[in-house]
Copies of this chain bind each other. A is one copy, B any other.
Amino acid sequence: MTPPLKVAVLGARGRMGAEAVKAVTAAEDMELVAALGRGEALERVLEAGATHLVDLTVPASTEANVRFAVEHGLHAVVGTTGWDEDRRAALAALLAGHPDTGVLIAPNFALGSVLASAFAARAARYFESVEIIELHHPDKVDAPSGTAVRTAQLVSAARAAAGVPAGPDATEHALDGARGADVGGVRVHSVRLRGLVAHQEVLLGGPGEQLTIRHDSYDRASFMPGVLLGLRSVAAHPGLTYGLDGYLELNA
């Protein structure tokens, strides 16, 4: 039997971090060796003998945390936002000097959401029409959601690469806003409803048929299977991987 992974969680007092502490503790093939909150010294991770680090902190500290991990040979799974292209390029350069170390930066750890986006992108070239409906609680400040915008961009790029023309639309008379927002030629509709959490549907239509790919997120527990999968896979993927789909076996 393989020994358990020795995992340290950074940001352990936050909502996501607290979930990660529970999930790692419950996983039979992992051992939680450290759980650090804001301001606690990173050296404790080394003293605890961690081989893997989960970063669920804040944009201001995630870069320093991950560099520390890489420089000490720890694999890292990162859910903190703020990793723009410049930061990722700098991290990739650092990793070039540590060829055995892996880092996963994932904007989304919900397996269902990641799969939904990947499937939508693959299906998009085979249908005349694609539209997206995202539905969230009414306290959300942006519309459409970041996930919906990213999905629309993936769909749009896949259709462009396959030479698929814009979807048909004979609308002549429309009330303002009825046909949604245009993201790269893909219409995106944002519903805000008390009681909802986070939901998304990609609707693809061709003659006589419709394919719908829907994801419902009910609870932030939905991110934990993705975090654990990341921890189990990161050592086998040296270098920088951006997006959990890089670890999923989506090809038959």
A207 in contact with B178 given A169-B138, A171-B141, A252-B118 (CB within 8 Å): no
Number of A interface residues, CB 8 Å? 83
Chain A interface, >50% SS class: mixed
Q: How far is the CA of A171 from the CA of B138 in the complex (A)?
A: 8
A145 to chain B, nearest CB (A): 9
Complex interface: chain B residues within 8 A of A160 (CB): none
Interface residues of A in 127-158 (CB under 8 A from B): 127-129, 131, 133, 135, 138-144
Which of B111, B190, B193, B218 is close to A197, meaning CB atoms less than 8 Å apart? Answer: B218
Copies of this chain held together in the complex:
4
Please report the C-alpha to C-alpha distance between residue A249 and residue B163 in the assembled complex, in whole angstroms: 14
How far is A206 from B172 in the complex, measured between Cα atoms in Å? 32
- The A197-226 residues at the B interface (CB cut-off 8 A) are 197, 203-225
Structural contact, B191 and A131, CB atoms closer than 8 A: yes
Name the 9 nearest CB pairs between A and B, nearest first.
A208-B219, A208-B222, A193-B205, A209-B222, A175-B181, A208-B221, A112-B211, A178-B181, A251-B251
Q: Which residues in A have some Cβ–Cβ distance to B below 8 Å?
A: 110-113, 115-116, 118-119, 121-123, 125-129, 131, 133, 135, 138-144, 167-183, 187-197, 203-225, 229, 248-252
Q: 12 A-B residue contacts at CB 8 Å?
A: A110-B209, A115-B122, A128-B194, A133-B189, A142-B171, A143-B171, A179-B192, A189-B189, A194-B207, A196-B218, A206-B225, A211-B213
